[in-house]
Chains A and B, each alone.
Chain A
Amino acid sequence: MSPIERKFTLQVPSSTENLALIREFVTTVGRQSQLEEDEISNLELAVDEACANVIEHAYGHDITKEVVVRAKFDDESLQISVIDEGRGFDPNKTPQDSVEQLIHDRKSGGLGIRLIKKLMDEVSYEIVPGQKNELHMTKKIRK
């Protein structure tokens, strides 16, 4: 028998004010999926980073737009997808300067994608700029 998959969706206006709500949603789903608390903290941060990128960069703080966070899990893994219809960009093509270089250049951005990749087990993208961009992030559930 295949494992039961559970699905949850949160849809919020594109405002940084809603990052707290997104983190609570992710934490609640993470606990239901039986992830360890430190893994839930990592998940919370990764999804916060992904949504902040959408709110600030894909939508340029346009509160009339919406950010969709979709979660699904079974016995083996939890996948969170962050979906937007804004300006898509290929995270693999963003410069990955060292933190020291960013400091030297007096830049404070460019950390979000780096954190997401370090915090999650798998990260993938489906990008159709202006139509639909999806960032999929997966955590394996260790028993």
Chain B
Amino acid sequence: MANPFAIQTSVEDGLSIVALEGFVDAHTAPQFEDAIQKAVDAGSVRIVVNCEKLNYISSAGLGVFMSFIEEVRDRGGDIKICGLTPKVKHTFEILGFQDIFEMLDDQQTALQRFKAD
């Protein structure tokens, strides 16, 4: 069954980049959660989630953003979201995530925003 999901993590200029690809649902969201948890545990609280290749997200994936944002901000960091396709962005916006999370066009812009913070 077609449920492709991949996640890649990297570090650039001291920022953690988590790139999501494919479908984030209740089945795959735990892998996303693990990736963010590992970054936070490693002391990295400035995180960019690159969604350029993300085709779909359900509330299980949105919940991962929600469950970490306060801890990350308490520690002086942030989670910035970039590269959302219109369809996926719509899902974020239904729940008002645009008022809580900074959403940027691409990874470069997100990295620059962190440097400006």
Contact = CB atoms under 8 A, between A and B. Distances in A.
The interface centre, meaning the residue of B58, B70, B87, B96 with most chain A CB atoms within 10 A of its CB, is: B58
B66 A99 contact: yes
Nearest to A44: B56
Interface in A39-96: 41, 44-45, 48-49, 52, 55-56
Interface in B69-107: 69-71, 87, 90-91, 94-97, 100
A106 B25 CA distance: 20
Contacts of B96: 99
Interface residues of A, number: 32
* A contact face: mostly helix, strand, loop, or mixed: helix
A19 to B, nearest CB: 5
A114 interface: yes
A19 B100 contact: no
Given A20-B27, A103-B66, A103-B100, A118 B94 contact: yes
A17 B59 CA distance: 16
Nearest to A105: B70
A48 B3 CA distance: 13
A10 interface: no
A-B complex: 7 closest residue pairs judged by Cβ atoms: A108-B63, A20-B3, A111-B59, A16-B27, A108-B67, A52-B26, A16-B26
Interface of A: 16-21, 23-24, 38, 41, 44-45, 48-49, 52, 55-56, 99-100, 102-104, 106-109, 111-112, 114-115, 118-119
18 contacts: A16-B25, A17-B3, A20-B3, A21-B1, A24-B1, A41-B87, A41-B90, A45-B91, A49-B58, A52-B59, A99-B66, A100-B100, A103-B69, A107-B67, A108-B62, A108-B64, A108-B66, A111-B95
